[in-house]
């Protein structure tokens, strides 16, 4: 595994090493010792699996409110997604900044987000599947999000006519989140 910190401090792109032969491949997708050596000390408590059937589906921008904010380890196991995250950490030098990374079934890359980030993605192919490890169990009453196309954030989504859930269409603005919560 190779750990590379992204532009936003605390976020890591993790390149996985696969051993290939005529049968396919073998790959270690998580190693607690290697994560700790890279400074990532997470205790994964839950894993979720998301499937999006159609290209141009946007999911997000989701997070869990305090005191249940969670770190995530995200990996695309089928298809290709454009993964986006926004720094919502109180006092962070990059508060309100976003970044993105393409995750695909073939690249064998994971994304580590520490606690305090909103997360979403856009499918670039049909039939995309994502696995998420979480270091805090899901708390329905604290499930929250910011509007995917908020003008103050200014994410340049790679799609003109996205497929979006009613829930995600009705999330609050970044400005309202900041005014009401001040960050995570």
What does the pLDDT look like over 50-59, one tens digit per residue? 999 999 999 9
Helical residues (DSSP H) of 32-173, grouped into ranges: 32-37, 166-169
Kindly state whether residue 26 falls inside one of the protein's structural domains: no
The residues that bridge with 14 in the sheet, in sequence order, are: 3, 110
Phi-psi region of 49 (alpha: psi -120 to 50; beta: other; left: phi over 0): beta
CA angle 122, 68, 180 (to 5 degrees): 80
Kindly state whether residue 19 falls inside one of the protein's structural domains: no
The CATH number covering residue 145 comes to: 2.60.120.10
Of 103, 8, 10, nearest in space to 50 by CA: 103
Kindly state whether residue 24 falls inside one of the protein's structural domains: no
Q: How far is CA 123 from the centre of its chain?
A: 13
Residues 150 and 152: their CA atoms lie apart, in Å, by: 6
Kindly state whether residue 33 falls inside one of the protein's structural domains: no
Residues spanned by the domain of 57: 43-181
Catalytic-labelled residue, pool 49, 62, 68, 85: 62
Kindly state whether residue 3 falls inside one of the protein's structural domains: no
Strand pairing class (58-64; 117-123): antiparallel
Catalytic-labelled residue, pool 108, 112, 119, 132: 132
Kindly state whether residue 132 falls inside one of the protein's structural domains: yes
Q: Model confidence at 87, in pLDDT bands (50, 70, 90)?
A: very high
pLDDT single digits (tens) 124-167: 999 999 999 999 999 999 999 999 999 999 999 999 899 999 99
132 is catalytic: yes
pLDDT single digits (tens) 98-126: 999 999 999 999 999 999 999 999 999 99
Kindly state whether residue 82 falls inside one of the protein's structural domains: yes
Give the torsion through C-alpha atoms of 61, 67, 134, 153, to 10 deg. Answer: 20
Phi-psi region of 103 (alpha: psi -120 to 50; beta: other; left: phi over 0): beta
Q: How far is CA 127 from the centre of its chain?
A: 18
Give the torsion through C-alpha atoms of 88, 122, 111, 61, to 10 deg. Answer: 20
**Tally of domains in the chain:** 1
Kindly state whether residue 101 falls inside one of the protein's structural domains: yes
């Amino acid at each position: 595994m190779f750990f590379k910190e992204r532009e936003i401090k605390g976020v890591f792109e993790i390149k996985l090493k696969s051993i290939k032969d005529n049968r396919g491949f073998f790959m270690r997708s998580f190693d607690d010792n290697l994560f700790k050596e890279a400074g990532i000390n997470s205790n994964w408590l839950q894993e979720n699996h998301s499937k999006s059937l159609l290209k141009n589906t946007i999911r997000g921008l989701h997070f869990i409110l305090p005191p249940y904010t969670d770190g995530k380890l995200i990996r695309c196991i089928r298809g290709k997604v454009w993964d986006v995250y926004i720094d919502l950490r109180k006092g962070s030098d990059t508060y309100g900044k976003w970044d993105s990374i393409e995750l695909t079934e073939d690249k064998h890359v994971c994304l580590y987000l520490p606690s305090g980030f909103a997360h979403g993605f856009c499918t670039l192919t049909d039939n995309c599947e994502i696995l998420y490890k979480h270091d805090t169990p899901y708390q329905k009453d604290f499930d929250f999000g910011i509007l995917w196309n908020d003008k103050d954030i200014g994410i340049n989504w790679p799609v003109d006519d996205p497929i979006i859930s009613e829930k995600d269409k009705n999330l609050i603005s970044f400005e309202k989140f900041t005014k009401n919560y001040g960050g995570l």
